[in-house]
Structures are given as structure tokens and as C-alpha cells.
Amino acid sequence: MSKNKIYPFAVASVRSMENSLMTKQKLMQMADAKTAEEALRILSDSAYGKTQIKGIYEFEKMIGNHLEETYQAVAGLIPQETFIDIFLYKNDYHNIKVLLKEEVSKASGKKFLIQGGTIPIETLRKNLRERNYIELPNINGEAVEEAVNMYAKTHNGRYIDSILDKACFSTMEKAAKKLGNAYVSKYVQMLADITNLKTLLRVKKMDRDYQVLEESFVPGGGVGLEFFSRAFRSDSPVAVLKETPYGSLCEDYMDQGFTVFEKACDDYLMEYIKDAKYKTLTPEPVMAFILAKETEAKCIRIIMTCKMHNIDVAIIKERVREAYV
Amino acid sequence: MVESLFSGEFLALAGAAIAALAGIGSAIGVGVAGEAAAGVVSEDPNKFGQVLLLQALPGTQGIYGLLIAFLVMVKVGLLGGDGMIELTMIQGAGIFAAALPIGFVGIFSGIAQGKAAAAGIMLVGKKPSELAKGMLFAAMVETYAVLALLVSFLMLNSIHV
């Protein structure tokens, strides 16, 4: 994609589609609902309502269908470009994880598979079973092999996750580099950094060894591993991380528990994504729309799951992420 | 051959041609705005009328260029049927210079207006009630095309042939 290429059609379509996004108020309304059924009714009035479902336990189907529709609609806007793929690799890698675990555990992981990757699930399943990576471009075959071997040696499912997460981020990083769009590159970098920050916090909380952090460290971020190792060994990780671009994020939220920090991370990324609101012809808004939809889906999942377990409204509201619109 | 290229008559004709080049700006501008308009209509066909208005805005530069080109041709007698009148080098160069403002300003303002119109179309796509504001933003660019038209027109009028 050349630097000055403009996409008026795609951006204008996306701007119109943005009307179908749920605002923060609407999400809060869902959180305020008395029962899960009522929350579902509010959801059905939105763009998600296209899928008819039987009861609250099927709400995931609604989200899945809508996300898939969104991916397809957006991909159709700019068929000659593949930059949307960068945001879909994570779905591919998620499916690979599920399929590999299905293979080793012999249990069915059907309900964990998600649509919307760059490769259809059936193709993925068939070629993964035959270990035929030629048919799976963009998938790091070596990483898949490594994950399988590591599992055979350790019988620990964690390695499948961490090895494939690394592969996913390096695939995203490579694709972003190839694309040469500063907005996407920065996003991928921030996503990697924030994933690492969350890992650090989690490992610290669980009192695990540094080795676990190193194994789960994803590439592609702007903050190197040595920074994280220093933060890990220090008594106050926040003091070390203050020097990174994420200083204020860590200072304000890192000590407040994992749920709060995770929400703060999502809001931090959303703040960056929102930059695209002021772009008119370049492809940023198209990518921002996908990310906005994914965040929205996450919020709905949080709200519906909390509602189904009768969690207090105030707690749900604390967890609702910032919306794009 | 070379001498005839640098005659007054040739320079006057080259001026008319340059004025007409303002159409390049309009073509690009209307094109960009048209793509955006199609994007909005693909989501909501009811907005066709509104976005069409905005798409047409960058088209004026081409018309201004055509106007000046016509005036030049009338001035040198090309449209009268009696053949082209004879022009001195100075007269020809004057007509050439008079055509430059609308030619160049037309190209660049047309492109700029196209982008502003595309943004306005996206505004309508998101908030249909804001059509007037979107039009106003795009129409601001028009000012400079009109100014260039005025300069070209006044210059052309003051050249005696």
C-alpha cells in the first residue's frame, strides 16, 4: 500500500457503519438492566439483534455472528488490500490453539472455535492434522511444531499458549512492517507492550518464577525484555516502568488489582484508536472500526456474563470499557 | 516553425488551454467525493440526494476554467466565424498570463475541495442532520477558486486587442 493512497469509499462506508456501534450509555443501560433477559432485550434492539436466539445462554452466538458479519463487511470494502488480516491473525492463532488442544486432549473444542480468522476453520483443521503448513500461509509452522513438541515433553498446555502467542505477535509485527502504515505499526507495538505488562503483573501476583515471564514474553513491543526483567526483580516494578511510555498507566493503575489494570489497558488502547476519528481518507478509520467492534463485543460479554451470575450493577459498571463512539 | 510557436496567437490559445485545465482539479475532486458518496449510499441508499449535492461542489472549478477559456476564444475571434485576429507578442503573452490564475488555482482548489466534500459526505453518513455544515466546510474552498476566476477575468478584460 503506497503511503498516499486514499480510500474514500471504504472510509465513508465505515463512517456510516459507526452508527451501529453501541455507545457507552447503551452499554451502561445494559449493565443497569434488572435481569440478564432484560439486558439481552436491549442487545437485541441493536445491530446484534439480527441473530435470533432462544435464550440468554446463547448470547455468544449473537456476538459471534455479528463479529463475523463485521469482518466480512469490512474486508469487502477494500478487497485488494490485506491490511485487515493483521487484526485477524489472532483469531487464526486462537483457533490453532483450540485445534491443537483438541488433538492432544481428544476432547471436542468446537464451542471455543471462532469464525473470522484469515483461514476457514475446516481448512485449518485439515491442514493442521496433516501438518501441511504450505497450505497455511501467514501461519508459522515451526512454532506449531515447537508447541506440539513442547507439549509432548512437558504435558503442560501452557506452552501451547505461550509459543503460539509469540508466533502470533511476530506474525502481526511482520505484517505491520510490510504494510508500512504508522498507525498500525504503533498499535501492534502498543498491544505487545501491554500484553507483556499484563503478563508481568500476573506472574508477580501468582508468585511465579522469572522463567515464566520470559517464556510468555511476546515480541514486537517497544519495551524490551531487559526492562521487564528489571521490573520483575525490583521491589517496586512501577518505579522501573515509569521510564517507559506506559509510565502513567502503570503508576495510576498497576497497584489497584488486575481487573482494574486490565480495564485501564483497554481504555489506554481505545484512547489511541480514537485518533482515527479525525482521519478522513486514509485507512485508519477502517481498522479502528474493527477494533471498536471487538472492544464492544468484549464489553457485551462482560456484561452478559456478569448479569447471568447476578453480579452487582456497580461492579459491572466499573468493568465496562470505554467505547469508540 | 519555432517562430510560429512563439507568436501572440499561439500564446493566447495556450492561455485558453491552461484555463481549461482547471477541469483536472474538478475531475479529481468530484471523483474522490463520488467514491465517498458511494460508500455512504452502500450503507444507506436514502442518503443519495444529500450526498449528491456535496459531490457536485468541486465541479465548479471546471466551469470557471471553461468560462475563461471561452472568453479568451471570443476575445481572439475564434468563435466569431471570421477567423482569428492577429495579435502581437505582448497581447498574446498578456492573455496567457491572465489564464494562469484560474488554471492553477482551479486544479489545486478542486482537489482540496474534493477532499473537504468527501469529509462532509462522511459527516452526512454519520449525522444526516448536519448536511448544511458539511456543505459549508466544502464551500469555503470555493472562495479561492472564485477569487482566481475574478483575477483572471479582470486581467483578461483589461487587455486590448
A155 and A120 share a domain? yes
User: Measured between beta carbons, which residues in chain B are less than 8 angstroms from residue A9?
Assistant: 35-36, 38-39, 42
How far apart are the CA of A278 and the nearest CA of chain B, in angstroms? Answer: 10
A54 and A88 share a domain? no
A190 and A166 share a domain? no
pLDDT lower than 70: segments of chain A: 1-4, 80-82
- pLDDT, residue A1, reads 39
Do residues B33 and B114 touch, judged by C-beta distance below 8 A?
Answer: yes
Q: Which domain holds residue A126?
A: 84-180
- pLDDT, residue B151, reads 97
Distance CA B68, CA B149 (A): 8
Taking the complete model, does pTM exceed 0.90, yes or no?
Answer: no
- pLDDT, residue A2, reads 44
Task: Spell out the residues 6+ positions from residue A316 whose beta carbon is closer than 8 angstroms to its own.
Answer: A31, A302, A303, A306, A307
Number of domains in chain A: 3
- pLDDT, residue B120, reads 94
- pLDDT, residue A80, reads 66
Specify the range with the lowest mean pLDDT, choosing from A279-293, B17-31, B32-46, B128-142: A279-293
Q: Where are the alpha helices (DSSP H) in chain A?
A: 8-17, 24-32, 36-44, 59-77, 85-105, 121-129, 141-154, 157-179, 182-205, 210-216, 225-233, 237-241, 247-253, 258-273, 284-308, 313-319
Contact flag A12-B121 (C-beta cutoff 8 Å): yes
- pLDDT, residue B1, reads 66
The three cell numbers of residue A252 are 495510576
- pLDDT, residue A131, reads 85
- Count other Cβ atoms within 10 Å, centred on residue B145: 27
- pLDDT, residue A81, reads 66
Contact flag B35-A9 (C-beta cutoff 8 Å): yes
How far apart are the CA of A284 and the nearest CA of chain B, in angstroms? Answer: 14
pLDDT at residue B3 tops 80? no
Do residues B128 and A16 touch, judged by C-beta distance below 8 A?
Answer: no
- pLDDT, residue A150, reads 87
- pLDDT, residue A281, reads 86
Domain boundary residue, one of A148, A180, A212: A180
User: Measured between beta carbons, which residues in chain B are less than 8 angstroms from residue A15?
Assistant: 39-40, 122-123, 125-126
More confident residue, A118 or B135: B135
SS3 of B59-86: HHHHHHHHHHHHHHHHHCCCCCCCCCCC
More confident residue, A35 or B4: A35
Distance CA A15, CA B36 (A): 10
Between positions 28 and 47 of B, the ones with CB within 8 A of A are: 32-33, 35-40, 42-44
Q: In angstroms, what CA-CA distances link B11 with A110, B72, B80?
A: 76, 11, 19
Q: What is the mean pLDDT of residues B101-121?
A: 95
Domain boundary residue, one of A134, A154, A180: A180
- Count other Cβ atoms within 10 Å, centred on residue A231: 26
What domains can you pick out in chain B, each with its CATH number? 2-157 (1.20.120.610)
A189 and A272 share a domain? yes
Share of chain B above pLDDT 70, in %: 98
Do residues B84 and B9 touch, judged by C-beta distance below 8 A?
Answer: yes
pLDDT per position as a tens digit, A170-223? 999 988 888 888 888 999 999 999 999 999 888 888 888 888 888 889 998 888
A187 and A274 share a domain? yes
User: Measured between beta carbons, which residues in chain A are less than 8 angstroms from residue B33?
Assistant: 8
Residue A257 backbone zone (phi > 0: left; psi -120 to 50: alpha; other: beta): left
Q: A303, A311, A312, A275: which is closest to A48 by C-alpha?
A: A303
With b for 16 or more beta-carbon neighbours within 10 A and e for fewer, the A46-61 pattern comes to: bbbeeeebeebeebbe
pLDDT at residue B110 tops 60? yes
A137 and A197 share a domain? no
- pLDDT, residue B5, reads 73
Share of chain B above pLDDT 90, in %: 84
Distance CA B68, CA B60 (A): 13
- Count other Cβ atoms within 10 Å, centred on residue A76: 12
Domain boundary residue, one of A156, A180, A204: A180
CATH number of residue A112's parent domain: 1.20.1690
SS3 of A172-239: HHHHHHHHCCHHHHHHHHHHHHHHHHHHHHHHHHCCCCHHHHHHHCCCCCCCCHHHHHHHHHCCCHHH
- pLDDT, residue A324, reads 86
Contact flag B118-A280 (C-beta cutoff 8 Å): yes
With b for 16 or more beta-carbon neighbours within 10 A and e for fewer, the A140-172 pattern comes to: beebbebbbebbeeeeeeebbbbbbbbbbbbbb
| Overall residue count recorded for chain A in this entry | 325
Distance CA A236, CA A238 (A): 5
Q: What is the mean pLDDT of residues B86-107?
A: 94
A149 and A196 share a domain? no
**Phi/psi of residue B81, nearest 5 degrees:** 95, -10
What distance lies between CA B84 and its chain's CA centroid? Answer: 25
Distance CA A253, CA B118 (A): 41
Please report how the helices B131-157 and B89-126 are oriented relative to each other, as an axis angle in degrees rounded to 10.
180
Q: B95, B134, B121: which is closest to A8 by C-alpha?
A: B121
A132 and A96 share a domain? yes
Do residues B158 and B97 touch, judged by C-beta distance below 8 A?
Answer: no
CATH number of residue A308's parent domain: 1.10.132.50
Q: A197, A191, A212: which is closest to A261 by C-alpha?
A: A197
A110 and A186 share a domain? no
With an 8 Å Cβ cutoff, is A242 touching chain B?
A: no
Q: B126, B124, B125, B136: which is closest to B57 by C-alpha?
A: B136
With an 8 Å Cβ cutoff, is A11 touching chain B?
A: yes
Do residues B99 and B68 touch, judged by C-beta distance below 8 A?
Answer: yes
User: Looking at the partner chain, which of B38, B44, B126 has a beta carbon nearest the beta carbon of A9?
Assistant: B38
Mean pLDDT, chain B, whole residue set: 93
More confident residue, B48 or B6: B48
A113 and A193 share a domain? no
Q: Calculate the CA dihedral of residues A149, A114, B43, A270 and round it to 10 degrees.
A: -70
